[in-house]
Amino acid sequence: MTSPPIPGAESRVLRMGMVGGGPGAFIGDVHRRAACLDGEVVLVAVAFSASPVRSRRKGRELGLSPPRAYASYDQMIERELALPMSERMHFVSIVTPNHLHFPVATAFLEAGFHVVCDKPMTLTVDEARALKRTVRKTRRVFALTHNYTGYPMVKLARGLVSQGELGPLRKVIVEYPQGWLATRLEQTGMKQAEWRTDPARSGGVGCMGDIGTHAANLAEYITGLRIVELCADLTTFVRGRLLDENGNVLVRFQKGVRGVLHASQVSVGEDNALSIRVYGERKGIEWRQEAPNVLRVKSADAPVELWTRGHGYVAERSPAAARASRLPADAGPSQF
């Protein structure tokens, strides 16, 4: 099924709305800045917070038109639809706590707006299936932000695997350790820790739903293989916490490929250490999110190759990696 073109796309500037991401939020500001990075998206409408006062205050900080800093997402839909097409937002970015993703996405899709939603898509499989039916019915674009697949060297890794550079795949090791929840931070009033450790707002899993999903998505994206079986050991170490903050998973992919997935938010001293290693019969590759401009290619009888972002030899092997590179190779330091 092909979604209809987004009106206004031909002008190369899309008008974005945002639900969530108000004062004290974290990922909302990240998504807003990233979306506007190339000058092809402009933020025009927001429902930043459940508090109308806080939403308007945040809107003023960003220089938005006061009438378009809405008190709720329902009001946002109603009043945006009342605007002429030349002013109305084209799509909405949903950056709320997890429990709101399904109702907010459904409401905007049914109103005719395209949706970019932070993961997870929903809290339950039934909700996910219902949302899928809504997307098909409305024929709107629905995008889920597994953003690590956007790195140029991740796209190169995917290209090398699909071109058979590694030979038939055998094993995948992917990990995502963080350390920020090593103590009961949710009791200090920190908004991000509060909702992420609350089953009512976060869902049935903690760490594995928050960052383990990114590790799984990265492994499937690079290998082109789906996870078909797993055996998971989920642990809660911090006394009084209700959701897991650590997980060790044995994974089986299609075609008999084996893997190990580790995710943790109590790995003291780690910041955002997502990394992946993929091994085939002939070669292996390694990529680390904290050194994103480099892909290591390893062989049994040759020196390790360091492929770096922005070079012509990368573009030759992966046009997708070239398109994802915004800066020339010498515009910033490469991290090894």
Window from 47-61, 158-172, 257-271 with minimum mean pLDDT:
47-61
Q: Could you tell me which CATH number the domain at 9-145 has?
A: 3.40.50.720
- pLDDT at res. 59: 82
Q: Could you tell me which CATH number the domain at 148-331 has?
A: 3.30.360.10
**Per-residue pLDDT at 1 exceeds 50:** no
Which residues, at least 6 apart from 116, have a Cβ–Cβ distance to it below 8 Å? 31, 35, 91, 92, 93, 94, 143, 145
User: What are the pLDDT digits (tens) for 89-125?
Assistant: 999 999 999 999 999 999 999 999 999 999 999 999 9
**Per-residue pLDDT at 142 exceeds 70:** yes
Amino acid occupying residue 168? P
Rounded distance between C-alpha atoms, residue 244 and residue 30, angstroms: 25
Model pTM? Answer: 0.89
pLDDT band at 40 (very low <50, low <70, confident <90, very high): very high
Q: What is the mean pLDDT of residues 196-202?
A: 94
- pLDDT at res. 184: 96
Helix axes 152-162, 213-223, angle to 10 degrees: 50
Give CATH 3.30.360.10 domain extents, the chain. 148-331
Give CATH 3.40.50.720 domain extents, the chain. 9-145
- pLDDT at res. 6: 56
Q: What is the mean pLDDT of residues 207-215?
A: 95
| 33 or 161, which is more confident | 161
Helix axes 101-110, 73-81, angle to 10 degrees: 10
